[in-house]
Each structure stands twice: as C-alpha cells, then as structure tokens.
Amino acid sequence: MLLDGDELTIALDMPMEEIREFEQFVRPRLEYIEMIKIEEGTCLRSSAILSLLVSLKRTRPEVKIPFLEKGMTTSGSYGTLHWMGHD
C-alpha cells in the first residue's frame, strides 16, 4: 500500500489480514483520497478486496477506482473474471 498525496495504490493479492488492516487504514481517510489504483502485476486473490472496494465506492462515490470501472481482470488461476457495475 502506498499513499502519495490523494492517490492510494494497493495490491490485489493481499491476504485477509492485510485486507482488514487496509480497511482500518482507509475508512477514516477516505474523504482525503481521490483515487485508489491497483499495483501493476498483482492478481485478485480474494473477493474480499473486491467487496471492500465496492463498499468504499458506495461510501464515497467521488473516489475514482479505475479497477472497478474496468469491470474485469485476469488471473493465472481463474482466467478472465468479470463483474457487474458497482453502482
């Protein structure tokens, strides 16, 4: 996780404990974050991070999360994964 000004970059392959820590870190700071970006080369490891990103977007719709807007990702284990809109 890297916070640079109002942009936060995270890895998709966080284990559950790190996802919990990320949530505890980001929720109180969400009003100051303009964009949450995904670290290049990381693959979705758990649907929990996807659920958390959707929850953050619903809490603060102004925050940009390009990964969610893309609506898909690829995984070496699962191939291409698609999801429905986050609205």
CATH number of the domain within which 33 lies = 3.40.50
Mean pLDDT computed over 24-36: 95
Give this prediction's pTM. Answer: 0.84
Considering only CA atoms, give the Rg of the chain: 12
The residue segments making up the domain with residue 40 are: 2-82
Report the chain's mean pLDDT, rounded to a whole number: 88
Domain count, the chain: 1
- Domain-located, residue 46: yes
What is the percent of the chain where pLDDT is above 70?
Answer: 95
Question: Which pLDDT score, from 0 to 100, does residue 24 have?
Answer: 96
Q: How confident is the model at residue 87 (pLDDT cuts 50, 70, 90)?
A: low
Say whether 85 sits in a helix, a strand or coil.
coil
Burial 41-80 (b: 16+ CB within 10 A, else e): eeebbeeebbebbbebbeeeeebebebbeeeebeeeeeee
Q: Choose between 68 and 23: higher pLDDT.
A: 23
- Domain-located, residue 6: yes
Question: Which pLDDT score, from 0 to 100, does residue 85 have?
Answer: 64
- Domain-located, residue 87: no
